[in-house]
Structure 1
């Protein structure tokens, strides 16, 4: 429950508790796979993850708010306002905007490098105008800010058993792997937004391009060249997962089941795409609920084993004193 998580994290101020609760709702509503994995973390670490995800989700929603009367100028103004609130919130440690308030508190508590947030916002700004990428190198440069820094933000929250700098490249790679998976899953939806995240050089290597993708989306017809390009993108993405894999063992034991579960669940999206015949131009591939629950169940067993082992080890210091009962706020739905 939200109150238990906030109590465990020592988050007692009512406004701050409400801010974190708002982020949790965003995570539960929009990041179902990620939220499921987050439930495997110790309660005191979950609010920070919700804050990081909630902020990223909010910024991404601004960029993607096509239609509904939102012009490019509208989105640019909203993003600039968010960036100004972020800069002030990080500097002052609080904000009147709930999501920024929770993020600023998380950054302070876990000493997260503010450059990760600056790089993220730069990537969001580029999404206002950049609609495709000529090369995979160009795409990786974009994904440093849009995905790799998310993994780097998470490291101080999760904790490591090695120097953080040693684990950082793997954490960054995992963020990139997750985003590449989302790009593959969402090819059709991104086309509707005017974007193609599959690099042009990868498409061209298989005789495909933006126009062929648009034709396929418009007509509902498949094409061998598109299938081959998507299969190549899947292979590339699996290679990034292999880059990320060694980092799981570098995390603190109690955090490993969460990240391992996310790793397997997101990798399962690639499996679903392949099993559906690489039809992502026309429909989103979905991991069956039974498979997701099986993976989550395995994660839960890993959590129980890790907690048992931790109980035999010297206890980790509590993050903060418990909150007094008066600080409890109603839990939001989700």
Structure 2
């Protein structure tokens, strides 16, 4: 097993390669929190890459053997929490940050259950299904990140707000990546939403359905905005530098959803990105927002949230994880 310095170096390289936006925001944390955030990110990134047979995102690899890859993720994660050498620095990084912060194997399993949904080529039927997926692949990560930042596992409301930020991020990603997902034979738009707009499953990217698809995506981006506002309420409870970093990340990722919504039918002509200059602008805006009260308009919008962490956890327990064999 590598020493802490080597694991942190590997984790830093991973976030710089896998998420430039989050890498920028992470530098606003104090050193200890920053390194722990990198360590947790490295595990999340590595799990995602193993399941999708890819390297730090990008094009999906050959998808055969999904069950075996999922089993590998579960096994290495269990080794990490047992304090044993996993043979993979990203999993060893998880073991390290878990020992330093109190992360639990159950928290990690919540995230892995999201990878199981992807491995089973699952598609949501309803809005609740969509939010359940977002909980596993991003909301549960938000909870782990909050614990890494020192939020007590007993502080249910702040953990809910941390989950909301993950939900907002994932909804933005789904809205932006609909065309890329379609090319990989994946779709995270609820079948109910497609039916409401008379779009046959699998045909959402056909040009004559573009106006209907735009309405669906506007709905998704609005949900992302609601959860982002809810997360801002929780961010106000963090320490100053942590609050600054989280608000910067919220602004940058929120801009992805806003850009997709602004483009309308042209949202997928080219991938929506936030330039480095605009990212720096969000960092500056976050510094000001971090010392100001949460805007009343944001608090009002947050009240429209339909799904919280506890609701989604209960839904997941009820439905279970599909078999991907």
Instruction: Return the TM-score normalized by structure 2.
Output: 0.80
* C-alpha distance in 1 between matches for 2:106 and 2:152: 24
Contact 2:124–2:130 (Cα < 8 Å) also in 1: yes
SS in 2 for 1:250: coil
The 5 Å alignment of 1:234-245 reads 234-245=221-232
Give how far 1:282 is off.
4.2
1:141-290 equivalences in 2 (<5 Å): 141-160=132-151, 164-216=155-207, 223-290=210-277
Match of 2:304 in 1: none
Report the Cα offset of residue 156 of structure 1: 2.0
Distance 1:239 1:272, change over 3 A: same
**Residues 175-228 of structure 1: CA distance to partner in whole angstroms, max 9, x if unpaired?**
111111111111111111111112122233233343331424xxxx66211111
Output the CA distance in 1 between the equivalents of 2:269 and 2:52: 19
Shift of 1:15: 2.7
Number of the residue aligned with 2:45: 57
Partner of 1:70 in structure 2? 62
C-alpha displacement of 1:131: 3.8
Match of 1:20 in 2: 8
Q: 1:152 & 1:113 partners in 2: Cα distance?
A: 11
Query: Does the aligned pair in 2 maintain the 1:131–1:194 contact within 8 Å?
Result: no
Per-residue CA shift, 1:74-132, capped at 9, x if unaligned?
A: x4323322321110120126543211111101011000122110111121122012342
1: CA distance between counterparts of 2:69 and 2:239? 38
- Rounded to whole Å, the distance in 2 between the matches of 1:87 and 1:198 is 32
Q: How far apart, in 1, do the equivalents of 2:128 and 2:9 lie?
A: 38
Residues 301 and 93 from structure 1, CA distance in 2 versus in 1: closer, same or farther, beyond 3 angstroms?
farther
**Partner of residue 87, structure 1:** 78
Gaps of 5+ in 2: 293-325
Alpha-carbon shift at residue 275 of structure 1 (Å): 2.8
Structure 2 contact 114–136 (Cα < 8 Å) conserved: yes
| Greater gyration radius | 1
Are 2:43 and 2:90, in contact at CA under 8 Å, matched by a contact in 1?
yes
Q: CA deviation at 1:268?
A: 0.8
How many residues get paired? 288
**Does the 8 Å contact 2:168/2:223 carry over to 1?**
no
Q: Quote the Cα distance in structure 1 between the aligned partners of 2:61 and 2:272.
A: 29
Judged with a 3 Å threshold, the aligned counterparts in structure 2 of structure 1 residues 87 and 17 are, in CA distance, closer, same or farther, namely same
Cα separation, 2, equivalents of 1:226 and 1:19: 43
Contact 2:26 2:34 in 1 (8 A): yes
Q: How has the CA–CA distance of structure 1 residues 240 and 204 changed in structure 2, closer, same or farther, with 3 Å as cutoff?
A: farther
Please tell me whether residue 139 in structure 1 is matched to residue 125 in structure 2. no
The alpha-carbon distance between structure 1 residues 250 and 78, as it changes in their structure 2 partners (threshold 3 A), is same
| Distance in structure 1 (CA, Å) of the matches to 2:118 and 2:2 | 35
TM-score, normalised with respect to structure 1: 0.78
> Which structure exhibits the higher relative contact order, with contacts defined as CA atoms closer than 8 Å and separated by 6 or more residues?
1
CA distance in 2, matches of 1:290, 1:188: 26
Measured against aligned partners, the alpha-carbon deviations of 1:246-272 in whole angstroms (never above 9, x if no partner) come to: 111121222100000011111111221
